[in-house]
Structure 1
Amino acid sequence: MRHALPLALAALLLGGCASHKPEDFNGTWINQDAIDAAVKGDSLRKALSSHGPVFEWKIDVASQQARYSNGFEAAEGSLVAADKQWQANFEGGQSEQLSLDGDELQTTDASGAKQTFVRSKPPTPADAPLGGSFEKALYKAYLGGEWKIVEGPGQGAKVRFADDGGVTGLPDLDRYALCLAGDCATMGGDNDSLWLERDQRGAPWVFKRDDDKLEIFRAVNRAQPDEMPELAAGARQWVLERD
């Protein structure tokens, strides 16, 4: 009897996913559509909003675990086999249908909204932070390469934004983070915003990226002291151009 339940579960899994091996779903999947839209568009926030809300999935069939990140929060659910695909169930009754179409993972929520994901490359270590693979891919595609300060402090310097959040070349700064979702993005209103810091001390900034031109503005808070910050673009601090 000890082996009856595992064998029954294995039969259920294999029967429910007849067109794919269960382990084909394993791994980290990122929202490449959102990244492509961000690179091509003139507004990071609009691109991510239009192609969200989920940016990354981590699936582990053996542990029947499915997790996702929306760039601000994470959710952890359980997997069950359902009609040649998987269903991920979360607290509060939320569920997502998961299926494979060739090399892509397709998800469908209870309202019928669909999203498509591709495997993270290179493969993500099992202990990597949830959401980190999407963030690294976005940072590389969106801000990768070498930039030159053509206006502002440090004019003439070469700037590099690393995919791990490090930045070199901007005077007195060593880390950055793009605001992708949640309160961080909401504070910027219709503006794109990022965080810049040195030695773990920093502040939000407003930016505008137009292909190979990046403008960074001081952030002005228009909200009252007891309200959520509402950031607007103030004085322009830097203009960068990518080689």
Structure 2
Amino acid sequence: MRLLPLLLLGALLGGCASTPNNDPSGTWINQAAIDAARESGRLREALLAYGPNLEWHIDPERQQASYSNGFELAEGRLQSAGEGRWQVTFYGDYKEQLSIQNGELVQVASGYWPEQHFTRFQGSGEAKPLGSSFEQALYRDYLGGDWLIEEGLGQGGLVRFNSDGQVQGLPGAERFALCLAGDCAAMSGEHDSIWLQAGDQGSPWLFVHEGNRLRIFEAQNRAQFDEMPEYQPGPQRWLLKRR
């Protein structure tokens, strides 16, 4: 007589286990772009290939959805469009379609963007500024670990780029920021760029990420004084090797 209840319980648990998790709430990051940047070393190319949007924050209770592309932030009104599908309406009646597919948040291809995939961010759960979760994951995966200064000022020392934007061991720098989009990308063109800052003073640099080596060059402005800066690699300042 105990067999039937056990079979029913097994069926119930099996049904629960097979039910897809279509909850979109939380923060989602463009992990595909991060993975491509880590594997190739080419940050701008990876962002262009898998972006342009880098992070979504979804709050169904407030019917809000926001995204960041590394330069702009946009907030829209979230509405259900059926099981596992949502529509986000932004200012000016501009709309985006989202869905949950195989545990990923998918931004459906539209007249504005190609299809893009986002992975749920596994963080501490504390509220963070929109876009900072993607940056944290990118800094960790792309520049994380210890780097030895093989050439340049501070030769022989160790450098560490932290996920919160702090840098240790790089002479003349306390913080850094990778260029993701916007004016800094326009000014550096096809080159990857990084902002290095100490105190209130900072400046852009260009870099080449080659496997376990990171070359950092002075950014030389080729534009006229009344034009937008156009940076090209100047002399190499550092050669770092990941340990």
Q: State the match for 2:222 in structure 1.
A: 222
Q: Partner of 2:32: helix, strand, or coil?
A: helix
Tell me by how many angstroms 1:148 deviates.
0.3
Distance in structure 2 (CA, Å) of the matches to 1:119 and 1:30: 6
- Please list, as runs of the form range in 1=range in 2, the aligned pairs for 1:62-73 lying within 5 A after superposition: 62-73=61-72
- 1:8-60 CA distances to partner (integer Å, 9 max, x unpaired)? xxxxxxxxxxx8677x1100000010000100113211111111110000000
- Following TM superposition, by how much is the alpha carbon of 1:190 offset from its aligned partner in structure 2, in angstroms? 1.0
2-side partners of 1:123 and 1:66: how far apart? 20
TM-score of the superposed pair, with normalisation by structure 2:
0.88
Structure 1 letter corresponding to 2:114? A
CA distance in 2, matches of 1:131, 1:76: 13
Q: CA deviation at 1:91?
A: 1.2
Tell me which residue corresponds to 1:43: 42
Which shifted more, 99-108 or 140-149? 99-108
The two structures have a TM-score, normalised by structure 1, of 0.88
Alignment pair present for 1:30 and 2:29: yes
1:106·1:117 contact (CA, 8 Å) conserved in 2?
Answer: yes
Q: Cα distance, 1:123 vs. partner? A: 4.5
Amino acid at match of 1:206: L
Structure 2 counterpart of 1:233, which letter? P
Change beyond 3 A, Cα 1:87–1:25: same
Q: Matches of 1:175 and 1:223 in 2, distance apart?
A: 27
Measure the CA separation in 2 of the matches of 1:151 and 1:118.
37
| Cα distance in structure 2, aligned partners of 1:142 and 1:113 | 24
Cα separation, 2, equivalents of 1:46 and 1:124:
30
Partner of residue 161, structure 2: 161
Q: Distance in 1 between matches of 2:99 and 2:89?
A: 14
Give the letter aligned to residue 30 of structure 1. I
Kindly, what percent of the aligned residue pairs are identical? 52
The 3-state SS of whatever aligns with 2:99 is strand
Q: Deviations over 1:146-173 (max 9, x none)?
A: 0000000000000000001000111121
How many residues align structurally?
Answer: 223
Matched residues in 2 for 1:177 and 1:42: separation? 16
* Alpha-carbon offset, residue 211 of structure 1: 1.3
The aligned residue for residue 114 of structure 2 is 113
Residues 193 and 206 in structure 2, CA contact (< 8 A), matched pair in contact too: yes
Q: How does 1:5-16 map to 2 (within 5 A)?
A: none
> Matched residues in 1 for 2:216 and 2:125: separation?
32
Given that 2:21 and 2:103 are in contact with CA atoms closer than 8 Å, whether structure 1 keeps it comes out as no
User: 1:145 aligned to 2:115?
Assistant: no
CA distance in 1, matches of 2:125, 2:234: 39
Contact in 1 for aligned 2:215/2:239 (Cα 8 Å): yes
Deviation sequence 1:58-109 (CA, Å, 0-9, x none): 0000000000000111000001111331100111232111111131111114
Give the match for residue 12 of structure 1. Answer: none
SS in 2 for 1:62: helix
Q: Return the index of the structure with the highest Cα Rg.
A: 2
Summarize deviations over 1:215-236 as a string: whole Å, max 9, x none. 0000000111111111000010
1:191-206 matches, within 5 Å, as 191-206=191-206
- Structure 1 residue aligned with 2:189: 189
Structure 1 stretches lacking a partner, 5+ long: 1-18
* 1:92 equivalent in structure 2: 92
* Structure 2 gap segments, 5+ residues each: 1-18
Q: State the distance in 2 between where 1:213 and 1:110 align.
A: 38
Q: Helix, strand or coil for the counterpart of 2:108?
A: strand
